[in-house]
């Protein structure tokens, strides 16, 4: 694979243009070391906490770098979500499809309504320190909230609505918790989405340092070796592409970047995750063959993924070999009138404050 570097404007960020040579030609390399075995044993056992609304059980590890702060259950054959928020050692249902907790756990961003295909023109910001809720009107309908690593800026994907209920993605919104003023930025190609695609395709993510954003540029109709992820500055100007490095798990992933911001995760094919070095655009690891979803990073050396076998759904901590050493959540899927009864679809493990 040939890599062409793109210079960052005003030192905003550095991205790599990965040309359309197959990313699978890269030889995986391991710049990070694995934790001592004693650390794995000490972290493996935690308190068991029942997850409300589902059969799921959380293995809550007090000494870990992250903890489960919220989750969403899917119901009605995938048409809706119930968002649950952590309060102490229990989880309570909210009026949101997703109650996304910031790193440090001070702020919660909530998108009202349970229906997944509806973008909303407002977002609730809840200050957990004071208990105050701020309802923020927006200039455009939005979905897909994400917090910056410092827990102070919210990112949302913005749309232009059409009479038939479909939407065109127009860019993104950023909002700092200090002034709570939304800033709409036009960016990217104007992808048209409808029904189940809304919030699932072409959403925006912060880069590892939150000085820019990423989004899928191409869809599944483009060959994997040519499929691109675009990188933008916060001004909406495109800085470059990552080409042939896989597809972002846009529906299940809260944040694709590692805590250090050096790596991000994609799916290079069904069941297999690629770990991409952000500064070079090289795939440095390929992980697993039966992974269902990528749920985030545990630390710089471990991911959180889900696997499903028969009627059991498990979220695991895995290393770069794909080995799962800790089961974080175990859920028995219960058949219902439409596929399964409400069950876990998105989980939000956050950095501790």
pLDDT of 14 above 50: no
Q: Which residues pair with 205 in a beta bridge?
A: 214
Predicted pLDDT at 166:
93
Please name which of 101, 47, 38 lies closest in space to residue 329, comparing C-alpha atoms. 47
Confidence of residue 338 (pLDDT cuts 50, 70, 90): low
Judge contact between 284 and 278, C-beta under 8 A: no
Residues 6 or more apart whose CB falls under 8 angstroms from that of 130 comprise none
The percent helix, strand, coil of the chain (3-state, each to 5) is 5, 50, 45
Mean pLDDT computed over 27-39: 35
Q: Which residues pair with 330 in a beta bridge?
A: 57, 314
Q: What are the structural domains of the chain?
A: 3-17+27-351 (2.120.10)
Distance CA 227, CA 247 (A): 8
Edge-to-edge strand list for the sheet holding 293-299: 47-50, 57-60, 324-332, 312-318, 302-309, 293-299
Largest CA distance in the chain: 59
Residues 6 or more apart whose CB falls under 8 angstroms from that of 54 comprise 73, 331, 342, 343, 344
Mean pLDDT computed over 4-15: 37
Summary mean pLDDT of the chain: 87
Please name which of 43, 87, 41 lies closest in space to residue 65, comparing C-alpha atoms. 43
Please name which of 340, 329, 333 lies closest in space to residue 50, comparing C-alpha atoms. 329
Judge contact between 90 and 52, C-beta under 8 A: yes
How do beta strands 107-112 and 96-101 pair? antiparallel
Distance CA 331, CA 312 (A): 6
Predicted pLDDT at 117:
76
The predicted model scores a pTM of 0.86
**For the chain, how far is it from start to end, CA to CA, in angstroms?**
40
- Which tokens hold the place of 162? 């059409």
pLDDT of 339 above 70: no
Give the long-range contacts of residues 56-60, CB within 8 A, separation 24 or more: 56/313, 56/329, 56/330, 56/331, 56/343, 56/344, 57/329, 57/330, 57/331, 58/328, 58/329, 59/326, 59/327, 59/328, 59/329, 59/330, 60/89
pLDDT of 215 above 80: yes
Place of tokens 């927006």: 138
Predicted pLDDT at 40:
40
Within 13 Å of residue 136, how many CA atoms lie on the same side as its CB?
27
- Residues 231-252: tens digit of each pLDDT: 999 999 999 999 999 999 998 9
Predicted pLDDT at 42:
39
Mean pLDDT computed over 313-335: 94
pLDDT of 209 above 90: yes
Predicted pLDDT at 246:
97
Q: Is 239 left (phi over 0), alpha (psi -120 to 50) or beta?
A: alpha
- Which tokens hold the place of 109? 């961003």
pLDDT of 38 above 60: no
Mean pLDDT computed over 141-161: 97
Please name which of 66, 20, 37, 32 lies closest in space to residue 285, comparing C-alpha atoms. 32
Length of the chain: 353
Confidence of residue 15 (pLDDT cuts 50, 70, 90): very low
**Nearest-5° Cα angle at 9, 3 to 12:** 90
Q: Which residue has the higher pLDDT, 14 or 267?
A: 267
Judge contact between 169 and 188, C-beta under 8 A: yes
pLDDT of 106 above 90: yes
- Which tokens hold the place of 275? 């770990």
Please name which of 150, 62, 151, 65 lies closest in space to residue 108, comparing C-alpha atoms. 151
């Amino acid at each position: 694979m040939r890599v062409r570097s793109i210079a960052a404007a005003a030192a905003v960020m550095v991205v790599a243009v990965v040309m359309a040579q197959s990313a699978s030609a890269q030889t995986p390399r391991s710049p990070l070391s694995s934790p001592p075995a004693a650390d794995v044993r000490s972290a493996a056992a935690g308190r068991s906490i029942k997850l409300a609304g589902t059969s799921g059980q959380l293995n809550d590890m007090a000494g870990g770098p992250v903890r489960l702060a919220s989750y969403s259950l899917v119901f009605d054959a995938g048409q809706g979500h119930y968002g649950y928020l952590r309060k102490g050692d229990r989880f309570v249902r909210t009026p949101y499809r997703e109650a996304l907790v910031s790193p440090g756990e001070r702020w919660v961003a909530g998108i009202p309504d349970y229906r997944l295909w509806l973008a909303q023109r407002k977002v609730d910001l809840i200050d957990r320190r004071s208990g105050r809720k701020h309802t923020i009107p927006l200039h455009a309908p939005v979905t897909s909230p994400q917090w910056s690593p410092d827990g102070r800026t919210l990112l949302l994907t913005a749309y232009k609505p059409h009479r038939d209920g479909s939407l065109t993605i127009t860019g993104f919104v950023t909002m700092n918790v200090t002034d709570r003023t939304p800033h709409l930025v036009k960016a990217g190609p104007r992808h048209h989405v409808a029904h189940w695609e809304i919030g699932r395709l072409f959403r925006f993510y912060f880069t590892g340092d939150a000085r820019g954003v990423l989004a899928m540029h191409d869809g599944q109709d483009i060959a994997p070796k040519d499929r691109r992820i675009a990188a933008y500055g916060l001004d909406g100007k495109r800085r470059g592409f990552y080409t042939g490095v896989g597809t972002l798990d846009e529906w299940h992933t809260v944040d694709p970047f590692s805590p250090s911001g050096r790596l991000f995760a994609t799916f290079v094919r069904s069941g297999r995750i690629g770990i991409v070095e952000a500064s070079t655009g090289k795939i440095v690891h390929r992980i697993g063959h039966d992974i269902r979803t990528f749920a985030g990073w545990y630390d710089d050396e471990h991911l959180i993924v889900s696997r499903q076998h028969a009627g059991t759904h498990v979220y695991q901590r895995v290393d770069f070999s794909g080995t799962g050493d800790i089961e974080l959540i175990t859920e028995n899927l219960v058949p219902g009138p439409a596929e399964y009864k409400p069950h876990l679809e998105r989980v939000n493990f956050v950095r501790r404050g």
